[in-house]
Structure 1
């Protein structure tokens, strides 16, 4: 998780040297972005702000082994009547075992 932006692809290039603000979660591919938003809110006070917007991205190696960051959805900390990508599941978004999930909090 990072405030204000996503991490850069290079932040994930070396296993064991992931970003310092890493939070490990174990979940299923049928977990929705809303469920993940609620998990993030449990550990990141800035994500609990009424105006907080969370952006989700997958980070994974491409065919040449270079890491790619692909934004996959956005949620609001509190729905405010708009649901954005709340109901999208990791599986629907093509999350693969071993990918990283990067969350930017705005």
Structure 2
């Protein structure tokens, strides 16, 4: 690989199914920032401690799927339950230089299954400390 090439974190290559023993493994704090009609701007995450105010804190595990996270969001966000709603997921994390990166990772529909539903946080190379930005499109 060339000297200064940047490698984006994305979906990991297919491997054996990953499963966490949720009875023996401590959950992680997933900081989720849903908004209706689009995603937050990257600059909304610039200053640590001043992230968007509409944060959901979810305790979960690395084997949580986007469908599982969608259902948790639907419990507290009525708009996410509308039949034609689509939830668009992206991670926000600092790159090697400390500059935040916005990385789309998948979409789930409120009322029907899709190709991204079974992707897990581990499959998507989520790292503890990343933010999950969720655009809810109606």
Which of the five TM-score ranges fits, normalised by the shorter chain? over 0.9
Does 2:69 align with 1:36? Answer: yes
Instruction: For 1:73 and 1:11, locate their aligned partners in 2 and report how far apart those are by CA, in whole Å.
Output: 21
Instruction: For 1:89 and 1:76, locate their aligned partners in 2 and report how far apart those are by CA, in whole Å.
Output: 16
Deviation track 1:28-86 (CA, whole Å, cap 9, x = no partner) reads 1100000000000001000000000000000000111111110000000011xx42300
Greater CA radius of gyration, 1 or 2?
A: 2
* TM-score normalized with structure 1 length: 0.94
Question: Equivalent residue of 2:43, what SS?
Answer: helix
Does 2:119 align with 1:88? Answer: yes
Q: Which runs of 4+ in 1 moved over 6 A?
A: none
Question: Equivalent residue of 1:41, what SS?
Answer: helix
* Residue 98 (structure 1) aligns with: 129
Between Structure 1 and Structure 2, which shows a larger proportion of helix residues?
Answer: 1
Question: Equivalent residue of 1:24, what SS?
Answer: strand
Question: Equivalent residue of 1:39, what SS?
Answer: helix
Aligned residues: 104
Structure 2 alignment gaps of length 5 or more: 1-33
Instruction: For 2:91 and 2:78, locate their aligned partners in 1 and report how far apart those are by CA, in whole Å.
Output: 22
* Residue 9 (structure 1) aligns with: 42
* TM-score normalized with structure 2 length: 0.73
Which of 61, 76, 96 in structure 2 is aligned with 1:63? 96
